[in-house]
Amino acid sequence: MEIEQTGLKDCLIIKPRIFEDPRGYFFESFNQNTFEEKTGLSGRFVQDNESYSSYGVIRGLHAQAGEFAQAKLVRVTKGEVLDVAVDVRPSSPTYGKHFAIRLSAANKLQLYIPRGFIHGFSVLSETAEFLYKCDNFFNKASETGVIYNDVDLNIDWLIPEQDQAVSDKDLLLKPFSALQYI
């Protein structure tokens, strides 16, 4: 496993070591001991989630607030997405900055998103399966987020506007300027 910095503190690209031969490939998608040793961060995850989406879907930008805040380790097992993490920690020097990366079944990259970030992704392929590990349990009452097309964040989701598919729930999210500390 290799770790690469993103420019946002503790938001990390994880590059697994892949063993390939004529039969196919094998890689360890997560190892708590290795993760903690290489990052200095907690690798204790308590919930795994999976989503399946079609081209043009944009999910986000989501987080959980307060004691239910979550760190996430995300990856794609089918297709390709543009994954976006936004630092919303008020004391952070990169507050309001975002990092975007293409995650795909082909590149097998993963992104670690620490607590204090909002997160979302857009589906760039015909379909995509997206997996994420969370270090805290889902709590509906603590859900928060920011509208995906916020003018201050100015995120390019790489999906033409006419092809964007966003849930009614996500369309009701507030602008970044109205986000309360998470």
**pLDDT tens digits, one per residue of 34-45:** 999 999 998 899
User: Which pLDDT score, from 0 to 100, does residue 87 have?
Assistant: 97
User: Which pLDDT score, from 0 to 100, does residue 180 have?
Assistant: 77
95 carries an active-site annotation: no
> 2-178: CATH homologous superfamily?
Jelly Rolls (2.60.120.10)
Q: Are 85 and 113 in contact (CB under 8 A)?
A: yes
Q: Is the dihedral of CA 69, 119, 131, 138 positive or negative?
A: positive
User: Which pLDDT score, from 0 to 100, does residue 69 have?
Assistant: 96
Tell which wins on pLDDT, 179 or 162. 162
CA–CA dist 180, 174 (Å, integer): 10
Averaged pLDDT, 97-117: 98
Q: Is the pLDDT score of 22 beyond 80?
A: yes
Q: What is the pLDDT of residues 167-181, one digit of tens each?
A: 999 999 999 999 976
* Domain boundaries defined on the chain: 2-178
User: Which pLDDT score, from 0 to 100, does residue 146 have?
Assistant: 98
**Catalytic option among 119, 132, 148, 181:** 132
119 carries an active-site annotation: no
- Percentage, residues of the chain above pLDDT 70: 99
Of 96, 155, 145, 143, the C-alpha closest to 119 is 145
**Catalytic option among 62, 112, 119, 148:** 62
Q: What is the pLDDT of residues 118-159, one digit of tens each?
A: 999 999 999 999 999 999 999 999 999 999 999 999 999 999
Mean pLDDT of the chain: 96
Q: Which residues pair with 127 in a beta bridge?
A: 54
